[in-house]
Structure 1
Amino acid sequence: MIRALCLVLGLLGTPALAQGGGPDAPPLQAAVAQWLAGDEAEALPALARLAQGGDDAARLLLALIDMTAAYQGDWLGGLDRTARIALMRRPGGLSGQSWLDIATGPVAQAWRDLLDTSAGPGVVLAFAALGEDRAAVFAARTLHRRQNRDLAQAMAAPDVPAYLRRFAGVGDMPPPDDGQWAVIDTACATHCPGEAEACRKAVSMALHGDIAMAGSPAAQIIAPGDWAASAKGQAALLRLIATSGWRGDGPACLQTALAGL
């Protein structure tokens, strides 16, 4: 444990000041590019340094990685609890505290609103208006599990995006040319080039039709196209399928890809 903690502390080094920071700042973009390429050992300490220096985009992304198992790779999974907390969270309490608590901006605020159990459908619509499709579906799923009484009526409004309509009990799957399919189409082209349509259907079933769940964790930081084309985006999709309860009703090539996790 001590050895792993010393390794993480050594990688963290001095906090990077967030002067001129933000989603388009070169230091953040470099760290994000490393993470998308699957290089957690370089990317996560870099993001942590930026978060410590005050970069709100780094704080938001680290918090989302910390709370989403599908975004966590083998390197992060190999750290012991103490080292992981030191890397992914800010100091405070026995288990550290999420960077989400102090990240600023409308997306971070919407996430904090969702974590409040009194949240209503407004948080779903807030994510959708911000272009955060994946977060909007996650929020709708969360409110559905909480048996929110206002969700169905709110999602039935005519101006609600099509991908959220199923939560009103009146929606169908988004059309095939919807940009939300990009991650799935890339994965199916990679792993099942001869059975892409069967693969597509199987993944959609595994995600219960909520294909936006495969999208970028934070579209303001990672453009959907960059996420779809990345090693991390593809690995996250496979991990999402593996933890969805999918029973393997689909092409063997997809099962082979999942076995490689």
Structure 2
Amino acid sequence: MTWRIWAIAIGLTLAVAGLPLASSSDRFETAVSLWLDGDDAGALPEFADLAQQGHALARILLAQIELMDKGPSQFRRNLTPDQARALFRRSSTDGGPATSWLAVEDQQGNALARALRASRFPDVQPELIDELREMGEAQATDYPTRILALYGTSEDRRALLKSDALLPELRPYLLYLENNPELQGDGIYVLRHITGLGDMIDGADEDTRGIAGLLALGYGYGDTNPDNRWHATVTDWIMTDEATRPIADLCRGECGAQAGACGFALTALTGGYFEVIRLDSPLETVIPQDTFLSSPRARLMALRRAAFTRAETAGPRASIREIAEMSQCAADLVAQARSGGL
């Protein structure tokens, strides 16, 4: 039974029984709660049905989830391409390609949809960063900020570094690209940022370069040895920072006294600092970032990202044995996720 037939069948059953049909707002709120609980099978078909009925926020949220869910569930991984398109997009009436609901809402004059859609283009758009912030979609400024840092002028970068619109966690990326280059500078600027030590950190010593490589690119590119003098500092940041809360909460709940080693391992597997900070609410207008980061969905997404992410060079994923060298508890969690158990 497809999700459309299922939705129609439920509606007919309620109507025949004389029971009131839930309002679209109630259905939407219920679907959001299901999604935050990690229930894609319950949430996504409901979002899709509401989108077909013209629910603007359901349309935008569904489009955002399609592209932003970096740890797809077993339900999503089991969808065929045709099923995925039918679930997430508006089907064409003339046999053409399915259309993203974000594009549909943009074409209908929805300002939020227009801004979110514009945020996906690789153009330098400093005004868009301000606009998204004013709309309450701070996390959506991540990609436009990275594009400005890479391709904008020095004046663009300096202006954003002074702006309240800048996501604090992206400050080291801008500083790295704005200032004089240094060996493994991206990771060193991250270390300076998370420790608050700034230029007191010298990138010349082996321990600093080792942890900088891991912070910049993740597992396989830096030092995972607990004897590294920065290992405990980075672990403390992982277990206390807002951006890494899903990993910290997951590891505390599953690993007890070994939570810190688990957090370090999952951060390394995710690809380091610049990837681990990208676990964001798909639509803060509906799901505030704090609510998202505290949810089962965020914890599941964090684990699946760590379990299925490949190295920067698209090589093979870390083996369970290799992960166990960092944390046996993390290895057990990743093994469970890879087997489809989570």
TM-score tier after normalising by the smaller chain length = 0.7 to 0.9
2:158 matched residue in structure 1: 153
Matched, 1:238 2:243: no
TM-score by length of 1: 0.78
CA RMSD of aligned residues (A): 3.2
Alpha carbons of structure 1 residues 191 and 169: separation in structure 2 relative to 1, 3 Å? farther
Counterpart of 1:10 in structure 2: which amino acid? I
**Is the CA contact (8 Å cut-off) linking 1:184 and 1:200 kept in structure 2?**
yes
Alpha carbons of structure 1 residues 204 and 81: separation in structure 2 relative to 1, 3 Å? closer
Structure 2 distance, partners of 1:123, 1:82, is 33
Structure 1 distance, partners of 2:272, 2:132, is 20
- Picking from 192, 198, 201, the partner of 2:255 is 192
- Give the deviation of 1:81 after TM superposition: 2.0
- Give the deviation of 1:251 after TM superposition: 2.0
- Give the deviation of 1:142 after TM superposition: 5.0
2:85 matched residue in structure 1: 85
1:166 matched residue in structure 2: 172
187-196 vs 240-249, greater mean Cα deviation: 240-249
- Picking from 99, 103, 106, the partner of 2:105 is 103
Counterpart of 1:254 in structure 2: which amino acid? A
Alpha carbons of structure 1 residues 239 and 122: separation in structure 2 relative to 1, 3 Å? farther
2:284 matched residue in structure 1: 219
1:3 matched residue in structure 2: none
Q: Residues 189-217 of structure 1, C-alpha deviation per residue, up to 9 Å, x if partnerless?
A: 12332223333334444353244312322
Alpha carbons of structure 1 residues 71 and 208: separation in structure 2 relative to 1, 3 Å? closer
In the alignment, structure 1 segments of 5+ residues that lack a partner are 1-5
TM-score by length of 2: 0.62
- Give the deviation of 1:259 after TM superposition: 1.9
- Give the deviation of 1:88 after TM superposition: 1.1
Structure 2 distance, partners of 1:89, 1:204, is 32
2:19 matched residue in structure 1: none
Q: Residues 221-247 of structure 1, C-alpha deviation per residue, up to 9 Å, x if partnerless?
A: 123343234332212112222325285
Counterpart of 1:164 in structure 2: which amino acid? L
133-142 vs 173-182, greater mean Cα deviation: 173-182
Matched, 1:180 2:243: yes
Q: Residues 148-197 of structure 1, C-alpha deviation per residue, up to 9 Å, x if partnerless?
A: 44663344225334212122125623985553333222122123322233
Structure 1 distance, partners of 2:69, 2:289, is 19
- Give the deviation of 1:130 after TM superposition: 4.1
- Picking from 140, 145, 165, the partner of 2:145 is 140
Counterpart of 1:99 in structure 2: which amino acid? W
**Is the CA contact (8 Å cut-off) linking 1:133 and 1:212 kept in structure 2?**
no
Structure with greater Cα Rg: 2
Alpha carbons of structure 1 residues 233 and 12: separation in structure 2 relative to 1, 3 Å? same
1:112 matched residue in structure 2: 117
- Give the deviation of 1:75 after TM superposition: 1.5
SS in 2 for 1:215: coil
In the alignment, structure 2 segments of 5+ residues that lack a partner are 12-22, 177-188, 197-236, 312-316, 338-342
